[in-house]
Amino acid sequence: MAQTSMNSGLRRQVLTLQVLTPAVVVILWELIARSGILYEGVVPTILEVASAFWNELSSPELYHHFGVTLMELFGGFTIATLVGVVTGIALGSRPFVSSVADPFLSSLATTPKIIFLPVVMLIFGIGPESKVALGALGGFFPIALSTMSGTLNVRPVLVNVGKALNLTRWQMLIKIYLPSLVGPIIRGMRLGLGVTIIAILLGEIKLSNAGLGFLAIEYYNTFHIASMYSILIIIFLTALSINAVMSYISQRFDRA
């Protein structure tokens, strides 16, 4: 009983903190905006940001840019997943090959993907194709590394059973490897999705003619700061929603 009341007390305190914190942030923001500490317009008031946010939501232009970014994300992530899973399984099914490939994959995985933008632009131009390619490159490494590690850790007894039953390579893949790889692939996809989103948006910011990243930097260049903040809010809400969906899928299917 005492335990329950302590738990509910703690829960109430946690909830209070979680409600109060954004309120404190908003008040601090408003105070800074009105204080004149920073140059005028650099930190707009909450009302100005809210108004810009509403204007953006009612503008058809936003949905065009939103659609471009979503299309690039879908293309980049699909390619990253397909190529990453195939590469991960191919490398992971031979331990020696995986140890040879590991230095390349690990060092490229920790390299900032945005520096490859010039390369993909030389190949695909400044249109959405180069952002799709950059997103695919970004998402590929976490997915390939996670799948490779998962393949290396498939229980040997399952592989031996498959061999004892004279399964073909295709049957081994479908019946033995893929069912064991659901968890690692989903974990890799979750990490890869985050990197793909970042790579695509940064690519749009650097050199592009459409997309949410392009819109944000366009507002920055023309000093429409409240609109820039509203686009950043839209970007973060989108990224968090996609991440929440991926977390749900991960919890639903990854039983590790």
Q: Show the DSSP H helices in the chain as ranges.
A: 2-35, 46-57, 60-92, 95-109, 117-124, 128-152, 156-164, 169-171, 178-206, 212-221, 225-253
Q: Which is nearer to another protein, 171 or 209 (CB)?
A: 209
Q: Which is nearer to another protein, 82 or 123 (CB)?
A: 123
Instruction: Take residue 98 and report the two structure tokens written for it.
Output: 């995986």
Q: How far apart are CA 241 and CA 229, in angstroms?
A: 18
Task: Say whether residue 170 binds another protein (CB under 8 A).
Answer: no
Stretch that binds another protein, among 37-45, 58-66, 81-89, 141-149 (CB under 8 A): 37-45
Give least dist CB 245 to another protein, A. 12
Q: How far apart are CA 220 and CA 212, in angstroms?
A: 12
Choose, by CB under 8 A, the member of 79, 80, 85, 117 that binds another protein: 117
Number of residues that bind another protein (CB under 8 A): 51
Stretch that binds another protein, among 49-57, 76-84, 92-100, 178-186 (CB under 8 A): 92-100
Q: How far apart are CA 31 and CA 17, in angstroms?
A: 20
Within positions 51 to 70, which residues make up the interface with another protein, using CB under 8 A? none
Q: Which is nearer to another protein, 131 or 176 (CB)?
A: 131
* Dihedral of the alpha carbons of 83, 110, 115, 104, in degrees to the nearest 10: -60
In the three-class reduction of DSSP (H, G, I as helix; E, B as strand; rest coil), residue 39 is classed as: coil
Phi-psi sector, 155: left (phi>0), alpha (psi -120 to 50), beta: beta
Within positions 175 to 234, which residues make up the interface with another protein, using CB under 8 A? 194, 197-198, 201-202, 205-206, 213, 216-217, 220, 225, 228-229, 232
Phi-psi sector, 44: left (phi>0), alpha (psi -120 to 50), beta: beta
Choose, by CB under 8 A, the member of 24, 31, 38, 82 that binds another protein: 38
Give least dist CB 237 to another protein, A. 10
**Given the rule CB under 8 A, which residues bind another protein?**
10, 13-14, 17-18, 21, 38, 42-43, 96, 99-104, 106-108, 110-112, 114-119, 121-123, 194, 197-198, 201-202, 205-206, 213, 216-217, 220, 225, 228-229, 232, 235-236, 239-240, 243
